[in-house]
Structure 1
Amino acid sequence: MSGTLSPIDKAKFVAAKRAVDYVEDGMKVGLGTGSTAAWMVKCLGERIRDDGLRITGVATSTRTAELAQKVGVPVVSLDEAKWLDLTIDGADEYDHNLNLIKGGGGALLMEKIVATASDELIVIADLSKQVEALGAFPLPVEVIPFGWQTTKALVEETLVNLDVLGRTSALRMNGATPYVTDEGNFILDLHLKRIGNPRQLALVMNQIPGVVENGLFIDICDVVVIGHGDGSVEVRDINNGAVEHEKIDVPETDNLFVDIAD
């Protein structure tokens, strides 16, 4: 495998590989959405196949559910699972306090619901997602389709009084039509450049009529596993302040991962 993976894909793989070590037999596990989370689902499928791991997964999107079923990870609804032992997911940005921007893949609502219904959230990412201040990545805000242009105007008006550098927003598109989430909503991507007070912004955004949820994950993440292109990982635990460094074995070939896609 290592001969076919780019450094960035190797970083995603080793982060995912290390994160699934947190999963124990009998756990109920939230399954994130995105390219890095896809590696994690594949790694879980490998453990189920080779080690006899028994878990129940709750997917944060239809595409994650389809991938999980494909690789042999059992999936149930959150209502069936009720509460989860842990969730493993990616992030578009994370800061030194492990506050996150998520939702680049369009699943922020389900991701936040699943993450907050878990005892622990483990984020897997590469070093490029680490920032001093959140906001370089556009902040996704999920809105209902009814009156979305009015909601957009209200969002931009609200941003005038908040500690951000940019105040423009754009409706996320899928070709010539609006992108539609699994819940049937639209997404506004806010181009803020820098968010001075993420906690305040998250609270204010969710008070605007028409806004369903925003992509700021504040005080939710417990651990971040950072993958590097050389096959090493750094594990940061926000609860105990621990930082660990490890080297992950990357096999030359592994048929389980040949069809991975972003």
Structure 2
Amino acid sequence: MSVETDPAKIMKQQVGVAAAARVQSGSIVGLGTGSTTAYAIQALGDRLKSGDLKDIKGVPTSFQAIVLARRYGIPLVTLDEIDHIDVAIDGADEVDPHKNLIKGGGAAHTQEKIVDSLANQFIVVVDSGKLVEHLGSTFLLPVEVIPMAVTPVMRAIVKLGGKPELRMGIKKAGPVVTDQGNLVIDVKFDRIDNPADLEKTLNNIPGVLENGLFVGVTDLVLVGEIKDGQPSIREF
């Protein structure tokens, strides 16, 4: 694994490595999306190469995860080929005290939710800056929408008290397009008091495919922190 010198990156790397260390030989592993999870995928590849880990299969949650898994030599399978997932490793944009999440900063939350929800154990890897008292306090809630429904969905979200905005691309003209060919609306809610209800309500709006609220899915959170200039990891 490449040597990092930036403390924040060292911390992300160590959290990713700690999650990968929990994977056992013969496992089917959900491979999440994002910068911290990328280190976990790399660490799984390193363990396979060294012979420390054998016979694992990965279930990717995005094009990013597919590319990384191929780069690091992790064999991939689809959900059609398997009947269970042993463990999934994924990041989050916010984690509340009940281990509920907001995900979707990378616009991959639909596939992530499918894979992470199927896993017998779902491990979330984050830095301490992602921990919040209430979901929605630092991060907008991503909602994946079929393109033709963007305007009516935004109107429905306004009625729910949200402030919706179509996510625009960076280094791309026009909006962000997901791996499913849909668009993403980022919604500001002043605070999300009942994530379970809001998750259902949003998903019931016609044209919404999925939203970034992950409620009651997480088993373990590995949190990377920097204390006295040194990276450390704690569980909750």
TM-score normalized with structure 1 length: 0.84
Name the residue aligned to 1:260: none
In 1: Cα distance, 2:149 partner to 2:109 partner: 20
- Please tell me whether the aligned partners of residues 29 and 88 of structure 2 are also in contact (alpha carbons under 8 angstroms): yes
Of 141, 147, 153, the residue aligned with 1:139 is: 141
Q: In structure 2, give the amino acid aligned to 1:39.
A: Y
Q: Which residue of 2 aligns with 1:209?
A: 206
Question: Quick one: distance in 1 between partners of 2:215 and 2:15?
Answer: 21
Match of 2:112 in 1: 111
Comparing 29-38 and 10-19, the one that deviates more: 10-19
After the TM superposition, which residues 1-262 of structure 1 pair with which residues of structure 2 at under 5 Å, given as runs? 4-53=4-53, 54-135=55-136, 136-157=138-159, 159-160=160-161, 167-174=162-169, 175-229=172-226, 230-236=230-236
- Does structure 1 conserve the Cα–Cα contact (< 8 Å) formed by 2:37 and 2:91? yes
Contact 2:145 2:208 in 1 (8 A): yes
Amino acid at match of 2:84: W
Q: Per-residue displacement from partner, 1:45-102 (whole Å, max 9, x unpaired)? A: 0100113422000000011111111111111112212320010000000011100000
Please tell me whether the aligned partners of residues 85 and 119 of structure 1 are also in contact (alpha carbons under 8 angstroms).
Answer: yes
Secondary structure in 1 matching 2:120: coil
The code of the aligned residue for 2:118 comes to A
Letter in 1 for 2:95: Y
Q: Which amino acid aligns with 1:177?
A: G
1:2 Cα offset (Å): 9.3
Q: Distance in 2 between matches of 1:4 and 1:63?
A: 21
Pair 7,29 (structure 1): closer, same or farther in 2 beyond 3 Å: same
Amino-acid identity (%): 44
Q: Is the 8 A contact 1:58 1:75 kept in 2?
A: yes
The count of aligned residue pairs is 229
User: Tell me, what secondary structure is at the counterpart of 1:188?
Assistant: strand
| CA–CA distance in structure 2, aligned partners of residues 178 and 34 of structure 1 | 20
Letter paired with 1:112: K
Cα deviation, 1:164-216, whole Å, max 9, x if unaligned, reads: xxx21111111331111111111100012421111111111111101111100
Residue 222 of structure 1 aligns with an amino acid whose one-letter code is D
Whether contact under 8 Å (2:157, 2:163) holds in the other structure is no
- Report the residue type matching 1:144 in the other structure: I
Q: Secondary structure at the match of 1:80?
A: coil
Shift of 1:141: 0.4
Could you say what the CA RMSD is over the residues aligned between the two structures, in angstroms? 1.4
Alpha-carbon distance in 1 for matches of 2:24, 2:139 = 33
Alpha-carbon spacing, 1:3–1:52, altered in 2? closer, same or farther (3 Å):
closer
| Residue aligned with 2:105, SS | coil
Gaps of 5+ in 2: none
Higher normalized contact order (CA 8 Å, seq sep 6+, divided by chain length): 1
TM-score by length of 2: 0.93
CA displacement, residues 117-139 of structure 1 (integer Å, 9 cap, x when unaligned): 11110000000000011102010
